[in-house]
Homo-oligomer: A and B are copies of this chain.
């Protein structure tokens, strides 16, 4: 890659988010992965690394940053290291329309999260949308009803405080579902219990549509590479 002279492309506020789910198919050059990581951090990116269980991917990089060009360059560098990006998700951090009244500090925490949380190494990502079915259509509900349903849903989620951290990023117009949900849990069954419990909230029961779930373990880059490269 030559000298980068592109004009930064940034959200008006908040961060671009890119989940990269990678397979180890060929020889992977660990040094080049480390170099991609170092250059990404130097360019202002945050990168969460996780080993992923099963066939969907071997490892995941969750990348956050202001300039979308830098996120794309990070992707190209890990591809050049030999990793195959098999699945991905594109989103931006956001404050939902139902949470606009939050204190400024909480708004900032949503727009500029600092990840990963410490001592929460159980990892899960899934995308979701709100149903637009012929009987149950979220987008046809009045704002007040949606707000109430989301308030109840949030309350149910907060019961897992300390066990699960939920990071919801917006992707309508950017990827195939309307939101990306990244969960960090203390234990694997915390993730399960949290998602299972929330499925009984009316917001999910009647209106939630869920995409594929990716489950793994957060670790530093070497822990993740040790666990997934032979």
Contacts and interface: CB of A to CB of B under 8 A. Distances in A.
Interface of A: 1-2, 4-7, 9-14, 16, 18-21, 24, 51, 53-56, 58, 68-69, 71-73, 75-77, 79-80, 85-90, 92, 94, 121-122, 124, 126, 132-137, 139-140, 170-176, 178, 183, 187-196, 199-200, 204-206, 208, 212-213, 215-217, 219, 222-223, 226-230
Given A134-B135, A176-B212, 6 more contacts: A1-B229, A12-B187, A68-B217, A73-B227, A77-B230, A92-B192
Given A90-B53, A192-B174, A200-B139, A1 B230 contact: yes
A54 B212 CA distance: 16
B86 A55 contact: yes
Number of copies of this protein chain within its complex? 5
Contacts of A6: 217, 219, 223, 227
A230 B75 contact: no
18 contacts: A1-B229, A20-B54, A54-B89, A54-B90, A54-B175, A55-B85, A55-B86, A55-B87, A58-B79, A72-B228, A92-B189, A124-B174, A133-B134, A139-B199, A139-B200, A172-B195, A173-B193, A175-B213
Contacts of A5: 223
Contacts of A92: 188-189, 192
A72 B58 CA distance: 9
Contact of A88 (B55, B89, B206, B219): B55
Contacts of A77: 230
A217 B69 contact: yes
B11 A188 contact: yes
Contacts of A89: 54
